[in-house]
Amino acid sequence: MQRTYEFRKSKDFALGLFPALLIDQIEASASISATCQKVDEKRESDVVRIKFSKELSLGEQNALSSLIEAHTAAFVDGVGEKIFTEAHNGKPSAQDDFSNGYPMFSIWFDISSRNAYISVRDDTNNAVWDIINPKTYHFEAFDLDGDVVLNSGYTALTWDTVVLSENIYQLSKDSSVIQINATGWFEIRAEITTDIVWSSSRSTSMARIALNTGRGFEGLPGAKTYMYNRTSNAGYGSGCITRKFYCKSGYQIRVEATKESGGGNIRTVPETCRIAIKNIKPLESE
């Protein structure tokens, strides 16, 4: 464990109270003696290095972290003079740049969303922060019953068994439409298996991803798959679609299938049709 840590005064923390009050409270609460030294009076005059009289246990570090977070001050464990961690209620903006005390590679922790950001550019009024720990939101479901009859028109597949549905997804009452209440880049994967129930006529079935952006459902380009269904004794055919797409909050998505050719009676096979959706980049609201 480190003995030396760096702390940085938060913008809303009174300069006159820092760091003397913080040192006093550390010593009182943790029963650890500490000394304080400014890191760089010319460039970072509100940054101090605090050296403790002994190595800190994990419990002591956690206690100190809580104390420092209460002061909305920085807490950095041995990462150098130009890298700072600071807790806030809200995410960083372009104005949180080097001139305002956030050099590149600074870490910003948003208490409200529990997201962490790192500064990748610190130009004046043009700072860029990347989220470090983006949350991945999942939706996964399958059709346990199957036996959806496919005709010449498109039929929406239904998902009677939901494995996981996080809070940005909403499944329609008929279990066929998934509404995504978030904006960002997503990936969808759909697997479909069809069969000829009775026939000796070779047939072809097709499935696609359809997206409703507010103008009704339309096929998503590059998101089709075909299944060849031979006869009722050997009629299984499977297809898979994986597609990345940009989604705005409120867009709706579904999987549709149709019989393309042949005289066979085509149906989906129980437990073989499934769908999975996840965001692949941080949501734009994060």
Q: What pLDDT, in 10s, does the model give residues 81-108?
A: 344 567 788 888 999 888 887 877 788 8
Of 106, 131, 156, the residue that ends a domain is 131
Of 131, 156, 187, the residue that ends a domain is 131
Q: What is the pTM of this model?
A: 0.64
For 28, the token pair is 């009182």
Tell whether 284 is covered by a domain.
no
Q: Within this chain, do residues 186 and 254 fall inside the same structural domain, yes or no?
A: yes
Q: Within this chain, do residues 190 and 253 fall inside the same structural domain, yes or no?
A: yes
Show the domain range for 270.
138-279
| Neighbour tally for 178: CB within 10 Å | 22
* % of the chain surpassing 70 pLDDT: 67
Of 131, 155, 174, the residue that ends a domain is 131
C-alpha distances (whole Å) from 276 to each of 164, 196, 243 are 9, 26, 11
Structure confidence by residue, pLDDT tens digits, 191-233? 999 988 776 677 889 999 999 999 999 999 999 999 988 776 6
Tell whether 84 is covered by a domain.
yes
The answer to whether the CB of 111 falls within 8 A of the CB of 87 is yes
CA 69 – CA 61 distance, rounded (Å): 12
Amino acid at 236: Y
- Res 54: pLDDT: 62
The answer to whether the CB of 139 falls within 8 A of the CB of 247 is no
Region of poorest pLDDT, from 71-75, 85-89, 118-122: 71-75
Q: Within this chain, do residues 190 and 169 fall inside the same structural domain, yes or no?
A: yes
CATH number of the domain that residue 189 is part of: 2.60.120.40
- Res 2: pLDDT: 43
Q: Which among 77, 73, 111 has a CA at the least distance from the CA of 92?
A: 111
Region of poorest pLDDT, from 6-20, 111-125, 198-212, 253-267: 6-20
CA 91 – CA 87 distance, rounded (Å): 10
Q: Within this chain, do residues 148 and 93 fall inside the same structural domain, yes or no?
A: no
Amino acid at 193: T
Q: Map residue 94 onto helix, strand or coil.
A: coil
